[in-house]
Amino acid sequence: MTIAVLKMNAESYREDFLNSLLGAEYYGAKKILRSALKELSAEDVLLKVVTPALNLLGEKWAEKEIALTQLYVASRITEDAISKLLPLIREYPPLKYKAVIGTISGDYHALGKDVVIRFLRAAGVEVKDLGVSVEPEVFVEKAVEEKADLIFVSALMLHTALRIADIAKILRRKKLSVKLVVGGAPFNFDKNLHKKLGAHAMVRNALDGINIVKKLMEGNG
Ligand code: B12
């Protein structure tokens, strides 16, 4: 019963937030999130309100219902909202692992990566942010340099996601046991894409990012 009520709330806030993004209403968006935070956790506001609203807007852009400039303005409003929400994420039982993270070369979609970083750090994972548009060789070099247990790669476009196969190839060639975890829109569209690219796992959202660390490193999750 409680879950159903929560869902309804998240859904209605998502709709309101989406409408404020469509209207480029910076202050309106802020107000909606302030209200949402009175009823939902920061994690729920991030993962059930803000992220899906922006992704829905991406669908509207793909359907040519809105212009790229509108998407751009919406993503700036969302970026601001995310930066206010991230410090509110709760701490999780610590996982003493090291990871490097970045978006794959050619991909400048940074928001998902930044959210994942905050969640992982809240769970005690030591994360080195390699930034955006990182070459496959650099992911591996930095992972070795940092003695990382995991490489996290964000790819939001299909053609950039395909480059992740190069990271997997280098890891195999060098016989490195670093775990390769991927996430972003193309993996949500095609559930088997990560396997085809040679990644160990794909993750749908930042919270699952924590669970996958447990699963891959400790065999549970
Ligand atoms: C916002 C956005 C933009 C913004 C980016 C702003 C920024 N600073 O990042 C702007 C307007 C600049 C932009 C530009 C472009 N975009 Co764009 N964009 C989006 C949109 C709508 C939302 C992405 C986003 O930030 N979501 C919010 C974040 C918080 O969520 P997220 O990224 O999904 O991340 C969560 C999970 O996926 C997961 N996750 C993500 N990565 C990882 C990694 C790991 C390791 C883990 C564990 C988890 C994880 O955890 C995150 C938190 O829960 C998507 C739609 C979509 N469905 O993704 C399109 C989308 C990705 N864009 C698209 C396109 C085509 C473009 C452009 C080419 C448009 C153009 N013609 O210029 C350019 C490309 C720029 C480039 N070279 O990178 C297409 C890609 C389609 C494809 N080819 O595959 C999409 C899918 C839109 C669509 N439906 O067609 N974009």
> Using one digit for the tens of pLDDT, what is the confidence trace for 90-131?
988 888 999 999 999 999 999 999 999 999 999 999 999 999
Q: Is any atom of ligand 1 closer than 6 Å to the C-beta of 134?
A: no
Average pLDDT for 13-26? 96
Residue 147's CB: how many other CB atoms inside 10 A? Answer: 9
Say whether both 77 and 132 belong to one domain: no
Which residues make beta-bridge pairs with 206?
A: none
d(CA 172, CA 57): 38
Say whether both 44 and 84 belong to one domain: yes
- How many domains, in total, are found in the chain? 2
Average pLDDT for 72-92? 94
Say whether both 81 and 122 belong to one domain: no
The boundaries of the domain holding residue 61 are 2-88
Say whether both 73 and 141 belong to one domain: no
Testing ligand 1's pocket by substitution, the residue of 109, 127, 213 carrying the most ligand atoms inside 8 A of its CB is: 109
The answer to whether residue 93 sits within a structural domain is no
Say whether both 124 and 28 belong to one domain: no
Protein residue with least CA distance to atom 18, ligand 1: 58
Testing ligand 1's pocket by substitution, the residue of 49, 156, 157, 205 carrying the most ligand atoms inside 8 A of its CB is: 156
Say whether both 109 and 137 belong to one domain: yes
Q: Which residues contact 89 (CB under 8 A, 6 or more apart)?
A: 42, 43, 46, 118, 119, 122
Name the CA radius of gyration of the chain, rounded.
Answer: 18
Spacing, Cα 23 to ligand 1 middle (Å): 20
Say whether both 106 and 47 belong to one domain: no
Say whether both 213 and 111 belong to one domain: yes
Of 88, 115, 146, which residue constitutes the final position of a domain?
88
The yes-or-no verdict on residue 220 having pLDDT over 70 is no
The answer to whether residue 120 sits within a structural domain is yes
* CATH number for the domain harbouring residue 195: 3.40.50.280
Phi, psi of 63 (to 5 degrees): -85, 5
Say whether both 78 and 106 belong to one domain: no
Of 41, 70, 88, which residue constitutes the final position of a domain?
88
Of 88, 120, 147, which residue constitutes the final position of a domain?
88
Q: Average pLDDT of the chain?
A: 94
Q: Which residues contact 40 (CB under 8 A, 6 or more apart)?
A: 6, 9, 10, 13, 48, 49
Spacing, Cα 52 to ligand 1 middle (Å): 11
| pLDDT, tens only, 32-41 | 999 999 999 9
Protein residue with least CA distance to atom 70, ligand 1: 68
* 178 within 8 A of 193, measured Cβ to Cβ: no
The yes-or-no verdict on residue 219 having pLDDT over 90 is no
Spacing, Cα 110 to ligand 1 middle (Å): 8
